[in-house]
Amino acid sequence: MNNGLITEIKKELRANMNGVASAAMRQTDDYRVNFGIELPRIQQIAREFPSERQLAQALWHESVRECRILATILMPTQDFEEDLCDIWVSEIRTVEMAQIFALNLMRRLPYASRKAFEWISADNLMLQITGYFTMCHVLRKGEMNDRSAEELLDHLTCDVTAGENNLSKAAVKTLQIFASQSDDNMNKAKKIADYLF
């Protein structure tokens, strides 16, 4: 791995640092460093660097918010095997990173649906949240058969009422996307809503 490339990326991140946002985000212990850079600017920075597995892995291990976001953009999907995916997802600590991980990486992977169900069923809150955000993208791609839909609805029935927390919010978002896809899905989602509320 070219350490010079990581140094160059960090210089670029420092040059784009948002002091106010960084100070607000530093109130949490989620990252060792947080530059507070907005997502559109991080996406622009990503265009300046190669999409390579080694670089993406090195960025992910930096424990810097912006480096991790860049890692999800720069990781080539053909090189992101399931065992590496399991390692990365186990290291997600924030809802923001769960959303970004699902958006930038999981939605491009052929095993996204299987992993989403695995994570939704896990006994780990952040895995469940990441699973629901991944499932949102699976649904948008139309990759859901009837059996999988029934399994998803079973999970949603439990999790949409998990209280006013991030799991409930992720489950509700997933249910909304599910409902928007067809009249049949809308009716199924309405039954859950009527039953629960």
Nearest of 72, 74, 76 to residue 89 by alpha carbon: 72
CA pair distance 33, 63, nearest whole angstrom? 7
pLDDT in tens, 122-151: 999 999 999 999 999 999 998 788 899 999
Cβ proximity of 69 and 101 under 8 Å: no
Residuewise pLDDT in 10s, the chain (197 residues) = 567 899 999 999 989 886 544 444 444 545 567 888 999 999 999 999 999 999 999 999 998 999 999 999 999 999 999 999 999 999 999 999 999 999 999 999 999 999 999 999 999 999 999 999 999 999 999 878 889 999 999 999 989 887 669 999 999 999 999 999 999 999 999 988 776 65
Query: What is the value of pTM for the model shown?
Result: 0.89
